Amino acid sequence: MQDQFLQGLSKAAQGPWESGVLPTANNLARARASLPTALSNHGAEVETVKRHITEDLVPAFNGGSISSNYYGFITGGVTPAALFADNVVSAYDQNVQVHLSSHSIATEVEFNALGLLTDLLRLDRPTWQNGTFTTGATASNLLGLACGREFVLRKAAEKKGSTIQSVGENGLFEALQASGLSGVQVLTTLPHSSLVKTASILGIGRANVRNTCRRDDPLRFDLEQLEKELAKGDKASIVAISCGEVNTGRFATANGDEVRSIRELCDKYSAWLHVDGAFGIFGRALDDSSEFQTIKKGCEGMELVDSITGDGHKLLNVPYDCGFFFCRHPDLAVHVFQNANAAYLTVASSDSPTIPSPLNIGIENSRRFRALPVYASLLSYGRVGYRDMLQRQIRLTRMIYGWIFDHPAYTALPAATSKERLQDQAFIIVLFRANDEALNRDLAKKINETSQMFVSGSSWQGVPACRIAISNWRVDEDRDFALVTGVLAKVSQC
């Protein structure tokens, strides 16, 4: 269905994606030249506009979603069910802001989709079917830190016996003064850049996102150091676990016991515990087979935290913009995100207490029916369908890692002493470099110039590196392994 739809859109998209993963320079130039220089007075026929988009613009898009060989960033793709649902969302343009059960089913579908996600991620429904759909993991991290900031400063003010208790109500400055603190800090290891960005937006400050990692491993917590930071009396703390680090795909915690220790520290010092599991949290969809034990353990214990960030538009393979946010404290988000004193929204408090109105627990007031593609794709694949998709992605990652480990022209990263250990820790990202320095400087460029596959340039310990992120639902281990290793073998001879 998707391929027919895309073929209908453009000749350039004969599916499965047969043109390169990047547009040709010609197509880009043609598209650029076709852009209008000013708004016309009377507009054009819809057919003309359609033709312009499909014939001029679409050929200048990349194959990020449509090709399973686009390995940049972590882009995911769009499952057929999600594509259908996304078109329904646009066609019916439901505004998901207020939960009013006699007006539309939309908020109930969103609530149901949250429940289905808790099932997929093995989180207890009564505790976790609480949260909202966001534009992506960045927005979910913003919600997590905002709820955390509200929580930790409320605790601090309570301890002081202050009447000023809410950042949402009184603002950060008054809340800090009332609690006698100088600020809020976020303690973490190898955070995603978006977490640092949200610390800036929320008045926490980028400089107050602090690494508390071990000396021998930048991703793992040094629990002693973490406790020292938490014990500092002048700041309230949020601890953030990187459940799936974007450069290596690895996990900040090794098992549930480690998360439990962090939880105990957070309770002792009244800190909030947040998880950025944009893609890593999906490791919880795996079964107990020994093949994936290390991954399963890496996302163990996440049911002990206060808030969870997840992405829809990555491993769930629904269109941009879609993320989700779970919070185990049902009333907290309202203190931050409520629309107070808006007469025309007085009905907006929702007519059923079990489903809060999205506009009072998230950033936007009016927004699209974001959850429908998630709902459709979860119904279409079920638990086993998503597990199988993820298993194929992990297996391909490990096959490529094995090949790179054995190849004299390349080095797998982070440096590993054995192939088995490397493969055992691998999730959906292959990080590597070329041994020849000149080649390594241009490696991503040379690979991408083939237009057969796309990788992101990155760096590891200050040296350029490449990243293959495998996140598309179309992944086929054998076919894609042959293509990737073919390209890498060819590039190594340049």
Ligand X SMILES: *Cc1c(COP(=O)(O)O)cnc(C)c1O
Judged by the rule CB under 6 A, the positions of this chain that interact with ligand X are 74, 136-138, 192, 194, 244, 246, 276, 278-279, 311, 323
- Report in angstroms how near the CB of residue 201 gets to ligand X at its nearest: 13
**What is the C-alpha R_g of the chain?**
24
Token pair of 492 as six digits: 């190594």
Closer residue to ligand X (CB): 244 or 298: 244
Using the minimum distance from each CB to ligand X, give the nearer residue, 176 or 278: 278
CB contact set of 25 (below 8 Å; sequence gap of 6+):
none
Pick the closer one to ligand X by CB: 59 or 277: 277
Cα–Cα separations (whole angstroms), residue 358 to 68, 362, 399: 34, 6, 43
Please state the closest distance from residue 208 (CB atom) to ligand X, in A.
18
Closer residue to ligand X, CB minimum distance, 244 or 373: 244
Minimum CB separation of residue 280 from ligand X in Å reads 7
**Minimal CA–CA distance to 220: which of 205, 200, 241?**
241
Q: How many CA atoms lie within 13 A of 414 on its CB side?
A: 14
CA 224 to chain centre: 29
Nearer Cβ to ligand X, position 133 or 279? 279
**Toward ligand X, which CB reaches closer, 355 or 475?**
475
Q: Smallest distance from the beta carbon of 143 to ligand X, in angstroms?
A: 12
Sheet of 183-188: strand order equals: 131-134, 323-327, 307-311, 272-276, 235-242, 183-188, 209-211
As measured in angstroms, the least distance from the Cβ of 321 to ligand X is: 8
> How far is it, in rounded angstroms, from Cα 76 to Cα 347?
38
How far apart, in whole angstroms, are the C-alpha atoms of residue 16 and residue 459?
32
- Quickly list DSSP for 298-342: HTTTGGGSSEEEEESSSTT--PSS-EEEEES-TTHHHHHH--TT-
Residue nearest to ligand X according to CB distances in the complex: 136
The 10 Å Cβ neighbour count of residue 1 is 9
Nearer to ligand X, 120 or 355 (CB): 120
Work out how close the CB of 272 gets to ligand X at its nearest, in angstroms, rounded to a whole number: 17
Q: Least separation, in Å, of the C-beta of 210 and ligand X?
A: 18
Q: Is 67 or 188 the residue whose CB approaches ligand X more closely? A: 188
Query: What count of other Cβ atoms lies within 10 Å of the Cβ of residue 287?
Result: 11
Q: How far is the CB of 245 from ligand X (least distance, A)?
A: 7
Cα gap 440→437, rounded to integer Å: 5
Q: Note whether 302 and 277 are within 8 A (CB).
A: yes
Strands 209-211 and 183-188: parallel
Residue whose token pair is 């207490």: 353
Angle, in degrees to the nearest 10, between helices 372-406 and 106-120: 30
| Alpha carbon separation from 473 to 47, 287, 328, 387 (Å, rounded) | 32, 18, 30, 11
Nearer to ligand X, 194 or 360 (CB): 194
Residue number with CB closer to ligand X (17 or 279)? 279
To ligand X, the closest distance from the beta carbon of 129 in angstroms equals 22
- From the CB of 420, what's the least distance to ligand X, in Å? 26
